[in-house]
Amino acid sequence: MTERAEIRTEGRCGTQADREPSRGACPAVFIAAPASGQGKTTVTAALARMLRNQGKVVRVFKTGPDYLDPLVLAQASGQPVDQLDLWMAGEAYCRQRLYEAALEADLILVEGAMGLFDGEPSSADLAALFDLPMVIVMDVKGMAQTAAALVAGLAGFRDDIRIAGLIANACGSQRHRELIEAALPAAIPLLAAVERNANLALPERHLGLVQADEIREDLETRFEAGAKALLAEGLADALLQLPPVTFDAVPDNHTAIPPALLGHTIGVARDAAFSFIYQANLDLLERMGATLRFFSPLSDGCLPPCDALWLPGGYPELHAAQLAANESMRDDIRRFFAADKPILAECGGMLYCLETLTDYDDRAHTMLGLLSGHGAMRGRRGCQGMQTAELPEGPVRAHAHHRSVAEGTSAPIAHGRRQRHPAPGEAIYRERRLTASYLHLFFPDNPAAVARLFEQGPVPALQTIDTEESHGCD
């Protein structure tokens, strides 16, 4: 047996903890797989829609620092979808989110990330910590009895996880199903066999799934087809009849958030180019008293009245020509920058702040020019990894995921600190009140540092770290 990876358990903040009762319980299932690309999100979305169509409240969570899957799952379930990550968010945060969901849901679904045991902490670590029964989703194309052997191996790899059954994805025929089912251990039932059908799979692009808002009607068709297929397998009754899982509320000292941003208005870029936004980040800003004003760098002519700006990640490379053409917005952001007002630019937002951005067609487009340097896409090779942003305001846990490179930049003030590697991580830049990096920050990890980042006034100084610049590839 392998030992469970070490996780951070103290947690720095959660959500409202002043409600009763102090324990919540409802059926809950962890959707896992032996590897990426097995159809976890497709199946999770279909399950959520199937139960939603029956009038049930389904709360869905996504394991890890994922932006795209939660948008798809939120559309399928009709409920907000939060990320759960034991390293980035901490046990207390995850526990409180699950507790609150259990107070209102008929069923909780947690979709895993990568393979079941991949990463530190892994999907298995999260499921084991909260005693969540696991359903394995496996693409069974090209195998039969071997699928049963793989499931049996997953079930026996650790003694602190529970496998509730298998959903065989991309099943070729009734006979294919029978071969798999007959070979499974008696304790692991075949819950469903989903036929091979390209109309059920969710569309993808270079950083993952296509954004839900871009293909909303197409997704609806796929959700309904998937829900119909799973309903025919009798999955609704099987899931709802699972024994409830109990979640305890987190003590108040983990959830109290001071109103450090009371009276502050923060402009948040949100459109097809800038959409990588944790709902937890927005919730925290509002709990700290901030008023949020959303705007579109693609289509709006000017900024909303605000005291600070947040330019999150997204797909500026797909919309670079339109961003460049919106000169009135670019001029307004430049004036905001010149007035020494706080700006946080993450990943795609940082690319927008550079002088130019070269897209996949090798065309260079003029960007804001708040930072020296030029951004360019670089094919399929990407950078990703969990890191702590070593900001002057304080450390904030974060992650990187990009397929671009920033060249010709000025010296960074610091680098991200990798989760388990000594090499410096993503560069962190600061010009006037602009803070920019490839890192996506998880605000609830350190609310006090985030508040200082968006507040007016001088910024704490930090000596430049004398290390070779790295762009965060693990």
Residue positions annotated with a catalytic role = 347
Six token digits for residue 41? 């999100």
Mark 221-258 as b/e (b = at least 16 C-beta within 10 Å): ebbeebbebbbeeebbebbeeeeebebebbeeebbebe
> Which of 80, 107, 109, 134 has the alpha carbon at shortest distance from 26?
107
Distance of CA 231 to the CA centre of its chain: 28
Q: How many other CB atoms sit within 10 Å of the CB of residue 395? A: 14
- Report how far residue 131's alpha carbon sits from residue 111's, in angstroms, rounded to the nearest whole number: 15
- Report how far residue 171's alpha carbon sits from residue 192's, in angstroms, rounded to the nearest whole number: 10
Q: What is the residue type of 239?
A: L
Distance of CA 402 to the CA centre of its chain: 14
Check: CB of residue 47 under 8 Å from CB of residue 20: no
Dump the DSSP string for 50-111.
HHHHTT--EEEEEESS-SHHHHHHHHHHSS--EEE-TTTT-HHHHHHHHHHHHHH-SEEEEE
Q: Cβ-count burial of 206 within 10 angstroms (0-12 exposed, 13-18 middle, 19+ buried)?
A: middle
Q: What is the residue type of 300?
A: D
Dump the DSSP string for 130-187.
TT--EEEEEE-TT-SHHHHHHHHHHHHH-SS--EEEEEEEEE--HHHHHHHHHHS-TT
Check: CB of residue 233 under 8 Å from CB of residue 226: no
Instruction: Write down how long the chain is.
Output: 474
Six token digits for residue 403? 């397929």
Tell the residue number behind the tokens 């930090």, with chain if given: 462
- Report how far residue 167's alpha carbon sits from residue 33's, in angstroms, rounded to the nearest whole number: 10
Mark 162-184 as b/e (b = at least 16 C-beta within 10 Å): ebbbbbbbbbeeeebbebbbebb
Pairing of strands 383-391, 414-418: antiparallel
Q: How many other CB atoms sit within 10 Å of the CB of residue 412? A: 20
> Which of 440, 358, 360, 334 has the alpha carbon at shortest distance from 406?
358
